[in-house]
Structure 1
Amino acid sequence: MPVDPQQFLRELFATAIDAAHPQQVLEAHLPSDRSGRVIVIGAGKAAAAMAQVVERCWQGEVSGLVVTRYGHGAPCEKIEVVEAAHPVPDAAGLAVARRVLELVSDLSEQDRVIFLLSGGGSALLALPAAGITLADKQSINKALLKSGATIGEMNCVRKHLSAIKGGRLAKACWPASVYTYAISDVPGDLATVIASGPTVADPSTSAEALAILKRYAIDVPVAVRNWLQSPESETVKPGDPSLARSHFQLIARPQQSLEAAAVKARQAGFSPLILGDLEGESREVAKVHAGIARQVVLHGQPLAAPCVILSGGETTVTVRGNGRGGRNAEFLLSLTDSLKGLPGVYALAGDTDGIDGSEDNAGALMTPDSYARAAALGLSASDELDNNNGYGYFAALDGLIVTEPTRTNVNDFRAILILESPKHDA
């Protein structure tokens, strides 16, 4: 095929990101009546880019405040943009969450609030519940991130330790009308899970949050345990009248990005196979992908090369070592270890927000010679995997992908490009 495999994988990644960018997806969903006053609040890695779109499109008076991750800001004229820490919240996130609540706490039926929500909002809009300190939330957050807990489990705990999540923000806005526009970064696109659902009803319970902490053997401070055992810790439940004026609209989801990449692959002459949104331990998900790639190369199943296997979702990493690396680098390192240089197989794994975990790269690239080149440098894929050192492994191969913040987030994007013709058994 007359294609540069690495460049083509980068183009697929860029296509996936572009398909979910606020500049492409938000305007069409805004209310048709854009006159009058609107208060804009927002949280997430796409919040500043989303705020720019509202400023450009709204014809009436616009004011507000949004919070995004450090480095993910964008210049706005009427909506204040504040940057804070992610994935572990900091004092800046705490301060802006207080200000957001104050901004919407004394509104009338005539008021309209636009809430711009995207992945990362949980950590960025961090306001601990009464009696819980920021340090308590930080320690539990760090422990959850290392534990291998799913995003749904983490957000269940976060919601019940918050004064703003689990529908509480919408309750604070009552009786104003609230229009939430969300970019999904979670498998299943559940409104209750995206950034811990600040403006939607939450069916999960405090007892479930306690059970999750117990399941992962996380040390729980006394104040947190006491709070979770109190009826006050319950989130806003379905049917609560304070949510009657709250409207939720999903404007971008991982599937859209996978489909956009599939279209580009097909146009280039590759058969696409979309596996969808996936969860699970990064290294184990990689082994499944490796098995599919091997089946394609050896037997032409479930489709024949040339082809592209696409998947998204949010995997997890149980931290065992002291290396550097996010879940995408971990996935790719495990894939490299599993395939061991299988001819004709190239792969990219990256986070669509431009940040793999807390590193400066979006992800990495694997080529058929990655395994051998690393071995020549004295690097063992299995040893580096034991140390969770995907970043270090691919940095040594000059295989890191650095995009800078993209200002959107539909979570992980993985593409395995297979050029090799099938080798059927005799």
Structure 2
Amino acid sequence: MTQIEDLRTKARALFDAAVTAADPAHAVRRGFALSPLPMPQAGGRTFLIAIGKAAPAMLGEALVAIPDADIALAITHHENETPLTGSEVLRAGHPVPDEAGARAAQRVMTLLSEATEKDRIIALISGGGSALLPAPPQGVSLTDKARLNDLLLSAGLDIVQMNLVRQQVSLLKGGGFLRLAAPASVYAYLLSDVIGDDLRAIASGPTVGPIGTAADAIATLKAANIWDAIPTSIRNHLESNKNRTIGPVPMATNTLVGSNRLSLEAMAQEARTIGLTPHIVSDALTGDVADAAQHVLHELTTRPKPTALLFGGETTVKLRGTGKGGRNQELALRVAMGASDLRAKWVFLSGGTDGRDGPTDAAGGLVDAGTLPRITAAGQDADVLLANNDSYAALAAGGDLLMTRATGTNVADVQVLLIAP
């Protein structure tokens, strides 16, 4: 095994450690220990409702602790094929909402509306819930919501900005879950895919509350220069509600059970185990992917060698072309292009802990100094492909796509930069 091959193997091992640390079953066990559930009231029912990319695994662990739950329902994405007995599993579209998601949302709303003051509802929330449960208000179609989602994803907005808008066009988000569930008691356990762990932004805060108002959503869309492209029904809905005063959402007990930072710490521990000296450089690698690449390149050129540098976060990409890729693939490609002339031996990995980067089957990219020569040898031009947002084709040509299949969890993205002596 060459030195570069060894570094690539170690980078993948660190990524796998991050995913393992975000294991949904472990997270639920941790959550029940941190915030034990009270006993149900006499005559009351227990509802287990899991929402998000990690829903089946979270629900499966909850059923171990509460095998006699009256309702056990999981809503996850189509690609998550985790088997789950003794419960109802609905699968829906992500990142763009679909009819299956609309039906799942209606199922959840029906269940919540049937709850009484004697019932307890245990919500297991993970990333992806925003798209998986589209519940548009009257006058807004699912097609219009899907169009809104497309525009938000392509505008370079961060997850908090996107979910601020999504909350204002939903009956379940931004505390809507709690309003529908009242007067039942709600206990939520959240696996965070949001940098900074703002509970209002995880799956758009169904059990928490809104990030902002309809007026804030309008301002966000205008600042992103997409207001005029938003479907008319949604613009009318936001305009008609921008001066509306909404009372506080009902109370709930919300417990954070997993996060990007915990995965970074697990990566650091794994690095020490395999003989590396790790440094967590940042748990907030956010903003435009081009700026993030420059940050990584700065670390690559200034850090003493050897070293293992770890990052976590979630960057954004402004779509200017028609190619295929995701933020992790583009970040990896940009780093490979920016470091191609360096003499140091290095590898860089950027991957989504959910195993899916954008609308592709790759989790991200794993690149080294040989990436650009391999792309060129395959008859491709990295500059042309990058200009068309076609990072997937570029990394595929170089044999540098990070392939994991869906992991069943999601705590945003992690990056590994290994530099040899």
TM-score range, shorter chain: over 0.9
The one-letter code of the counterpart of 2:288 is: E
Q: Sequence identity of aligned pairs in percent?
A: 39
Structure 2 match to 1:225:
235
Query: How many residue pairs are counted as aligned between the two chains?
Result: 409
For residues 57-76 of structure 1, the C-alpha deviation after alignment (integer angstroms, 9 at most, x for no partner) is 21433423221011214222
2-structure distance, mates of 1:69, 1:253:
20
Q: CA deviation at 1:295?
A: 1.0
Is residue 2:264 matched to residue 1:254? no
Matches within 5 A, 1:179-218: 179-218=187-226
Once residues 62 and 105 of structure 1 are traced to their aligned partners in structure 2, the CA distance between those partners, rounded to angstroms, is 15
Indicate how the Cα distance of structure 1 residues 234 and 13 shifts in structure 2: closer, same or farther if over 3 A, else same. Answer: farther
The answer on 1:97 being equivalent to 2:99 is no
TM-score normalized with structure 2 length = 0.93
- What amino acid does structure 2 have at the position aligned with 1:142? D
Cα deviation for residue 236 of structure 1 reads 5.8
Cα distance, 1:142 vs structure 2: 0.4
Deviation at 1:319, TM superposition (A): 0.8
The answer for the alignment partner of 2:13 in structure 1 is 11
Superposed CA deviations along residues 369-416 of structure 1, whole A, max 9, x for unmatched, are: 112222333333322211111111111122112111110000111101
Alignment of 1:154-193 (within 5 A): 154-193=162-201
The 1-side partners of 2:37 and 2:254 are apart by 16
Alpha-carbon distance change, 210 to 255 in structure 1, aligned in 2, over 3 angstroms: same
Pair 181,236 (structure 1): closer, same or farther in 2 beyond 3 Å: farther
Aligned counterpart, 2:27: 25
- Aligned to 1:65, which of 73, 77, 90? 73
Specify the SS of the correspondent of 1:323. Answer: coil
Query: Structure 2: how far apart are the matches of 1:40 and 1:220?
Result: 35
Question: What whole-Å deviation, never above 9, does each CA across 1:1-51 have from its counterpart, x for those lacking one?
Answer: 988111111110110000011122212322355677421112110011111
Residues of 1 paired with 2:50 and 2:108: CA distance? 9
Residue 266 to residue 318, structure 1, CA distance change in 2 (3 Å) = same
On the 8 A contact 1:160/1:234 being kept in 2, the answer is no
For 1:424, the equivalent position in structure 2 comes to: none
Distance 1:256 1:350 in 2: 16
> What is the TM-score normalised by the length of structure 1?
0.91
| CA distance in structure 1 between the partners assigned to 2:417 and 2:270 by the alignment | 14
* 2:313 paired with 1:282: no
CA distance in 1 between partners of 2:246 and 2:87 (Å): 28
Listed as ranges, the matches of 1:285-296 within 5 Å are 285-296=292-303
How far apart are the structure 2 equivalents of 1:141 and 1:233? 24
2:377 aligned partner, one-letter code = A
Whole-angstrom distance in 2 between the partners of 1:384 and 1:120: 28
Matched with 1:378 is 379
Shift of 1:232: 8.3
1:271 and 2:277 aligned? yes
Measured in 1, the distance between the counterparts of 2:160 and 2:37 equals 33
Equivalent residues of 2:372, 2:398 under 8 A apart = no
| Residue 153 (structure 1) aligned to one of 134, 145, 161 | 161
Answer whether contact 1:23 1:49 (CA < 8 A) is retained: yes
Residue 87 (structure 1) aligned with residue 89 (structure 2): no
Structure 2: 5+ residue runs without aligned partners? none
Q: Which amino acid aligns with 1:231?
A: N
CA–CA distance in structure 1, aligned partners of residues 70 and 335 of structure 2: 48
Tell me, yes or no, if the aligned pair for 2:109 and 2:180 is still in contact at 8 Å: yes
Matched letter for residue 281 of structure 1: D
Alpha-carbon distance in 1 for matches of 2:298, 2:114? 57
Instruction: Could you tell me which runs of 5 or more consecutive residues in structure 1 were left unpaired when the two chains were aligned.
Output: 422-426
Task: Measure, in 2, the Cα distance between the counterparts of 1:9 and 1:234.
Answer: 51
CA distance in 2 between counterparts of 1:203 and 1:195 reads: 12
Task: Look up the equivalent residue of 1:284 and give its one-letter code.
Answer: D
* AA of the residue aligned to 2:213: T
Quote the offset at 1:216 in angstroms. Answer: 2.0
Aligned-partner Cα distance in 1 for 2:190–2:245: 20
Report what 1:116 is aligned to. 124
Instruction: Compute the displacement of 1:235 (Å).
Output: 8.8
Change (3 A) 1:46 1:120: same
